[in-house]
Amino acid sequence: MAMESTNQQIVDATIEDAIYCHQCRHRRSDAVGTCVTKEGTKTCGLKFCPKCLLSRYGEIGEEVALNDNWVCPRCRKICNCSKCMKNKGEKPTGMLTATAKKNGCSNVSEFLKKEGSEKYFYRGKVKPENVIGQGNCAEGINDSTAGCSEENAAARTKPVLKEKEEFQLAEVKLPQGIQSITVSSVDLHPENAGSVLQFLEFCLTFREALGLRDGQAHSVVHEVLSERSTSQEHSMLTQTIIQLLTLILADRGEISVGISATDDRWFTILGECLAESEVKLDDFPPEMFHKGISEYAEMDSSQKLKLLNYLCDEALGISLMRNFIDNHENPKYVEKKKRAEEKLNAAEAKEKELYQKIKDDFSKTEADNNGVALTIEQRVAIISQMSAESEEVHFEKKKALEMQPKSQEYNDALRTNPVELEDNGLILWNLKSYNEEPTILLQDLGSYSDICPHEKWYSFSSEQKPQVEKYITFKRKKSLLEEKRKRKEKKRKTVFQ
């Protein structure tokens, strides 16, 4: 098991830092536009940054932001971004703003309409295929520095070599773990380690909601692992099973008379609950529960722990537990979220005031010109007079967006996340219920090729702690470098707008 009871039931809330500009594909806090075009039951959600609107379509961002009937360039079938050009069967244009102005056009859309897009498209540089010293160059290189000398070839290949070195890290190996885990002075059998840790983690996290007594969870573990004979009436394990079962049945409205350890009905009811569940445990056929409490007495520690964790998983779905989870957000997260929302609302209010002020200035200037529509140059001039105020508004909005707490801060007090998760079935955990030193545990789920995989748990010695910490640091750096490499690769493939 991979700690299902504390991971799978908690929903993450994701918050975007900013909005993508459809044209340049960059996150922009100043992206504007509320397109009114309907796509089925949904409204088009494309937005553009002011720079792209002006240079590519001759539209002013502040006007677009105030226009309640605006239709975006894509919905008007005039979008000249690389993706839309390809969708229309045409080639991406690349950067044509300067070319458009040289030819007397104020924006790229006007220029393409006048000249056509057949001869104005992006021509990517062809990379040389030959290595240093072969004496000839690849054909079709659109590069003023291209030549056939070894010096030029070396200059072209040098950045590639530098990039390879940038994403290399010295390999760090995880030390061999010890297949011996001790919890509350009890040595866990390898077969039971995962089940015991899952149960203890669940109880520690949801103790308040369940109304568990001090030391109850550890008493249950001691009783199960010792396999000592205890009367049902005094069995802490039985009492805990009945406690969980009662909560589940009460949530379903299926029980009116309480069940107790002195009443063997609880075992039959547990079997019925399991039979109706979507969870199927092969160790517990339905007929087992019809034979009576004697079958329970014959169960080994592994089976009893499986039943216990099944009830824990079922309990996570009841309204009592869901309300507990929803009402126990990290207090720091709640406060941070509140401050961020207040800042964002204030920034958006300022932005709205600024747009209205610009609109009023446009109207006043047109009135002074006897109602003659303003040219783009006149509009830009009015906006430029407010450039300092505009920059301040956009800066405040950007900072407010950056203040938004990230999703991993949500319910931090309730979640149990792995320290490191790998593709080969190895997971490193730092569990709240495990207090030995070092606190890191290794869970081995086995490879996907295993016919019948069985999880194994390992601890580490104090001498291995520095190496484990070094390994975790190495894996995190490697992950960050891989993300950086992917971003660079994506950026390299993206056609400049």
SS3 234: helix
Residue 187 has pLDDT above 80, yes or no: yes
**Does residue 197 contact residue 457 with C-beta atoms inside 8 Å?**
yes
Q: What pLDDT band is residue 463 in, cutting at 50, 70 and 90?
A: very high
Query: Measured in Å, how far apart are the chain's first and last C-alpha atoms?
Result: 48
Q: What pLDDT band is residue 167 in, cutting at 50, 70 and 90?
A: low
Q: Which helix (H) or strand (E) holds 458?
A: strand 456-458
pLDDT at 338: 81
* 312's tokens: 């824990």
* Mean pLDDT for the stretch of residues 256-270: 79
pLDDT at 225: 86
d(CA 278, CA 385): 66
pLDDT at 1: 43
* Mean pLDDT for the stretch of residues 139-151: 39
pLDDT tens for 347-404 read 888 888 888 888 888 888 888 888 888 787 888 888 888 777 878 887 888 788 777 7
Q: How far is CA 469 from CA 169, 172, 174, 175, 474, in A?
A: 16, 10, 9, 10, 9
pTM of the model: 0.51
Q: What pLDDT band is residue 311 in, cutting at 50, 70 and 90?
A: very high
d(CA 112, CA 471): 55
pLDDT at 257: 59
Q: What is the percentage of the chain residues whose pLDDT exceeds 70?
A: 78
Residue 490 has pLDDT above 60, yes or no: yes
**Does residue 58 contact residue 21 with C-beta atoms inside 8 Å?**
no
pLDDT at 293: 86
Torsion sign, CA atoms 148, 150, 154, 157: positive
Query: Which of 74-88, 156-170, 226-240 is the most confident on average?
Result: 74-88
Segments making up each domain of the chain, as ranges: 172-178+416-493
Residue 194 has pLDDT above 80, yes or no: yes
Q: How far is CA 19 from CA 12, 87, 105, in A?
A: 20, 23, 29
Instruction: Provide the mean pLDDT of the chain.
Output: 77
Q: What pLDDT band is residue 408 in, cutting at 50, 70 and 90?
A: very low
pLDDT at 307: 92
pLDDT at 406: 61
pLDDT at 199: 92
**Does residue 201 contact residue 4 with C-beta atoms inside 8 Å?**
no
Other C-beta atoms closer than 10 Å to the C-beta of 66 total: 17
pLDDT at 264: 83
pLDDT at 344: 86
**Does residue 183 contact residue 193 with C-beta atoms inside 8 Å?**
no
Q: What pLDDT band is residue 447 in, cutting at 50, 70 and 90?
A: low
SS3 143: coil
Q: Enumerate helices (H) and strands (E) in the chain, giving the number of each.
A: 19, 10
pLDDT tens for 231-246 read 777 789 999 999 999 9
